[in-house]
Structure 1
Amino acid sequence: MNYKLEIYRKPLESILSGKKKVEIRTNNSYEAIRYDQLKVGDFISFQVISGPPFIGLDVIEADALTVEVVDVRHYTDALSLLNTEGMEVLSNLCETKEQGIELLHSFHEYKEMIPKHGIFAIEIRPKI
């Protein structure tokens, strides 16, 4: 399957540089993609949107990067994800797990949706 997914410019640049190999997402009301249905070998085409902060899904650069899904790992909560995946999945934006949870809960709808759907660590690699 091929999916389109919105992303901010900075995380996209981290993926391009090889620093970011895991994208963190939860199912939500504003994206058509259901992360619990992603499979190894699927492709994601990232669409760059304005922000942060979350100000809508207006695409400013379509099809900026296509990546292949290498693995999808599901966690019931943000702490479980950080304990297993490590703090580096947050691109060194936080020093403690408590700050990491606070950051994840600050993303649009994450605080409400993680208890319902869990949170996904999506391991990716740029398509060559």
Structure 2
Amino acid sequence: EAYTELQKLAKLVTERLHAHNYVGKTITVTIKYPNLSSYSKSRTINEYTNNFELIYQESCELFDKLWKHEPIRLLGISVKELKEKQQVHEQLSLFNYQNYVEEERLIRLVNDLKRKYGDKVIKKGMRDK
């Protein structure tokens, strides 16, 4: 159940990053327990990102290190060290350029569809953890 919530939170964070044209480098997961104690764990990754799969995967790994197998009162994901996407120069090679172009085109198309028809018009599938 916590992984389902992490997935939803990662999706929300990613959508906000895309909507404001930001990328980030540090991913943080926060857990608050019923006794109101709160714990956070962060990881700084090598490259700036707004990629859902990467943010979700990193969040799951951080959650696994953080969770005490107790009930959770609050669960949160944040992305820090933000920059506007245009300010970040990605190192593209012949091997990843085509994937980058296709993903950027797909993201723009999905965002256009959501703006025109609403958020529920299309959902992105993903592999189970």
**Which band: TM-score by shorter chain?**
under 0.3
More helix by share: 2
Question: Structure 2 length normalisation: TM-score?
Answer: 0.27
Question: Structure 1 length normalisation: TM-score?
Answer: 0.27
Instruction: Considering Cα pairs closer than 8 Å and 6+ residues apart, tell me whether 1 or 2 has the greater RCO.
Output: 1
